[in-house]
Chains A and B, each alone.
Chain A
Amino acid sequence: MTGDSMVLSARRVRKQFGALVALDDVDLDVAEGSVVAIIGPSGSGKSTLARCIHQLERIDAGAIYLDGELLGFEHKSGKLLPLRDRDLSRQRAQMGMVFQQFNLFSHYTILENLIEGPTRVLGVPRKEAEEKARALLARVRLSDKVDAYPRHLSGGQQQRAAIARALANEPRLMLFDEPTSALDPELVGEVLEVMQDLAAGGMTMVIVTHEMSFARDVADRIVFMEAGRIVKEGTPKEIFGAPPESRLGRFLATSGVALTSPEATLAD
């Protein structure tokens, strides 16, 4: 029931902002090593879902489990209570989050950005953390930017560094909230490439994205959200085969990419 076989499972999750219901009875399962893409129109609750999973927002009802461990709450002397700040932080550290705006710490060099989590949260010795950080930066091809400040990197480089920072805690799950939406078109590719490498390496990932062709090529499952609910969920084939007159079909048509790109016709 707690979804032991799953890295992540969300059960009947509800989130409200005042009267607005941002998430309405959402169920989501993410299996080990799988990639789940979340798509849907603006305001449908995609970011809210990612932020609730990552415990950046507290849910109002339902439950979320990471490796079977309840997130955000604990049982204490028979009562269910919200977790204390320290324990919440420990849980957050088990998940990596990549934001649309990169959010690298502007007063730290790239290397310092990467070691902050491991040294401050996980208690890894500085030398060891630095070694690992350098290896990660090599993996996202930023070895020459180790001592640079974020301001002096291009958007694509910043986002790759942000991915490396999220990986530094060795998370069980990586969450991406529209990681390429703030990038110039010519920089999107280098970030998607890094994400594709991660997926190929077996990382469990949840990706909120408007990049339909990327979702189609990399995701194992695609989740379509609308008005705070998961309306449809399936393999890329099932999702992109939606009848054009359905709500999903109409959303895909307005998103363009998928139905008109040459690879789509090749794959079918």
Chain B
Amino acid sequence: MAIATDMGGAARRPLPADDASLAIRRDRIGRIVVGALVFGLLAWLVLAAAANPRFEWDVVARYFTAQAVMNGLMTTLYLTLVIFVFSLVIGTLLALARESAYRPFQILAWVYSWVFRSVPALVQLIFWFNLAYIIPSISLGLPFGPTLFEARVNDLISPFLAAVLGLGLGEAAYKSEIIRAGLMSVDKGQREAARAIGLTGPQTFFRIVIPQSMRFILPPLGNQTILNLKGTSLVSVIALSDLLHSVQSIYNRTLEVVPLLMVATLWYLIIVSIMSVIQIGIERHFSRGHGASRAIKAVEGRIEA
């Protein structure tokens, strides 16, 4: 009753002198002005770049979807994907080893991280590419018995495999730290409650621990993946035709260095943008139960409607 009369009278009663809506309106106008300035600055930059003849936009346009560039782009994407999966699997195993109660596993994981984080990616890349020089062939067989398998290392280590190993093994060490931090961020009580209702170890890990740690794992994981994408450009030193290497091959011939670098730059920009959008989507999915929930958003939606 009391509430109903209050609300009914609201329209007729005078607003207080310090009415909050005055400040909020001013705040909104301020944000529109700043937004317009930022947008104007960006537009000016784009127009200036477009007008600069040194960028040779007609050359950019000619090569933007050239077959060689497309092949290079595919190699870059595929390499990034393989490195992502490879390092995620090994990184997860390393994180579990570090967290296990078994001492030798802990030490092994620690030594791995120590080695692969210490050696620069470029050095590792060249090392794997030249592995045949150190170990010419490997063979599997019984001691003093017949050889079951023998191969020349040069045949086994293709440039692509060298790239995956050279960039992926080190990346696994970084991912293990990210995953470990994520696992540690999950409250111990969540694991206990999961065991208490009868979930098995693997069920607890995949249904409770992993989804909850995602909130902490995803932002640095996304960051890391973008770094990896750009990091694949190192493979041009072992003559693997990625995006950068393919534009290099073209400008070595045509000498149109700047526009061809622009081609590569634009493609990197596009891919990173797509990856960022995907990351936002995945992060939103795993923020379930934290921050504003769908339930609350639904309520807010109803109030606005």
B residues 170-197 in Cβ contact with A at 8 Å? 187, 189-190, 192-197
Subset of 12 A-B contacts with CB under 8 Å:
A54-B196, A86-B200, A99-B189, A99-B193, A106-B190, A107-B208, A107-B286, A107-B289, A107-B290, A120-B207, A166-B196, A168-B197
The answer for the CA separation of A148 and B211 in the assembled complex, in Å, is 18
Residue interface mask A178-209, B partner, CB < 8 A = 1: 00000000000000000000000000000000
Instruction: Given A105-B208, A106-B290, A107-B289, verify A117-B197 contact (CB < 8 Å).
Output: yes
The answer for the CA separation of A162 and B189 in the assembled complex, in Å, is 12
Residue interface mask B194-209, A partner, CB < 8 A = 1: 1111111101000110
A residues 91-111 in Cβ contact with B at 8 Å? 92-93, 96-97, 99, 101, 103-109
The minimal Cβ–Cβ distance linking A89 to chain B, given in whole angstroms, is 5
Asked if A169 and B212 sit within 8 Å, CB to CB, the answer is no
- Chain B residues in 8 Å Cβ range of A107: 208, 211-212, 286, 288-290
Instruction: Given A99-B189, A106-B212, A107-B212, verify A149-B293 contact (CB < 8 Å).
Output: yes
The minimal Cβ–Cβ distance linking B250 to chain A, given in whole angstroms, is 49
Instruction: Given A107-B288, A121-B198, verify A116-B207 contact (CB < 8 Å).
Output: yes
- 9 smallest CB-CB distances across A and B, nearest first, come from A93-B198, A103-B193, A117-B197, A121-B198, A103-B189, A97-B196, A149-B289, A107-B289, A89-B200
Select which of A89, A97, A103, A104 is within 8 A of B199 by beta carbon: A89
The answer for the CA separation of A97 and B198 in the assembled complex, in Å, is 10
Residue of B nearest to A97 (CB): B196
- Chain B residues in 8 Å Cβ range of A165: 197
Asked whether A60 is an interface residue with its Cβ less than 8 Å from the other chain, the reply is no
How large, as a class, is the contact surface on chain B?
A: 20 to 34
The minimal Cβ–Cβ distance linking B209 to chain A, given in whole angstroms, is 10
Select which of A85, A86, A121, A151 is within 8 A of B289 by beta carbon: A151
The minimal Cβ–Cβ distance linking A78 to chain B, given in whole angstroms, is 27
Residues of A whose CB lies within 8 Å of any CB of B are: 54, 56, 85-86, 89-90, 92-93, 96-97, 99, 101, 103-109, 116-117, 120-122, 147-152, 162, 165-166, 168-169
The total number of A-B Cβ pairs within 8 Å is 88
The answer for the CA separation of A107 and B211 in the assembled complex, in Å, is 8
Q: Would you call the interface of chain A mostly helix, strand, loop, or mixed?
A: loop
Other A-B contacts than A152-B295, A162-B193, 13 sampled, CB-CB below 8 A, are A85-B201, A92-B198, A97-B193, A99-B193, A101-B189, A103-B190, A106-B289, A116-B197, A148-B293, A149-B288, A149-B290, A150-B289, A166-B197
Asked if B197 and A169 sit within 8 Å, CB to CB, the answer is yes
The minimal Cβ–Cβ distance linking B201 to chain A, given in whole angstroms, is 5
Asked whether B4 is an interface residue with its Cβ less than 8 Å from the other chain, the reply is no
- Chain B residues in 8 Å Cβ range of A149: 288-290, 293, 295
- Chain B residues in 8 Å Cβ range of A104: 193
Instruction: Given A104-B193, A105-B208, verify A152-B198 contact (CB < 8 Å).
Output: no
- Chain B residues in 8 Å Cβ range of A92: 195-198
